[in-house]
């Protein structure tokens, strides 16, 4: 079983990497880019029987800084 955790900065939190990517894209002539938010994806290989609650606990205890980040979980 697999789970995919997508982690992004919360709205209102400064995203310097996203701003750097946006500047680079505009510098390359992509003037239609109005904003970039950069995040991370973590793929977890889980034993059978693992569930969303366990993945949520992993996120809360280690994977996500809940002060500045939000996350979504997709069980595959």
Taking the C-alpha atoms of residue 1 and residue 47, their distance in angstroms, rounded to an integer, is: 6
Q: Which residue numbers in the chain have pLDDT < 70?
A: none
Q: What are phi and psi of 20, to 5 degrees?
A: -65, -40
Q: What is the CATH number of the domain that holds 9?
A: 3.30.1280.10
Supply the pLDDT for residue 39. 97
Structure tokens at 25: 């894209």
Supply the pLDDT for residue 47. 95
Structural domain that includes position 68: 2-75
Residue 55 parent element (H or E): helix 52-58
The number of domains in the chain is: 1
């Amino acid at each position: 079983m697999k789970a995919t955790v997508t982690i992004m900065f919360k709205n209102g939190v400064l995203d310097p990497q996203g701003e750097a990517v946006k500047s680079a894209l505009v510098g390359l002539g992509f003037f239609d880019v109005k904003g970039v938010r950069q995040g991370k994806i973590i793929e977890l290989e889980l034993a059978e029987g693992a569930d969303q609650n366990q993945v949520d606990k992993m996120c809360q205890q280690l994977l996500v800084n809940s002060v500045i980040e939000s996350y979504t979980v997709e069980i595959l």
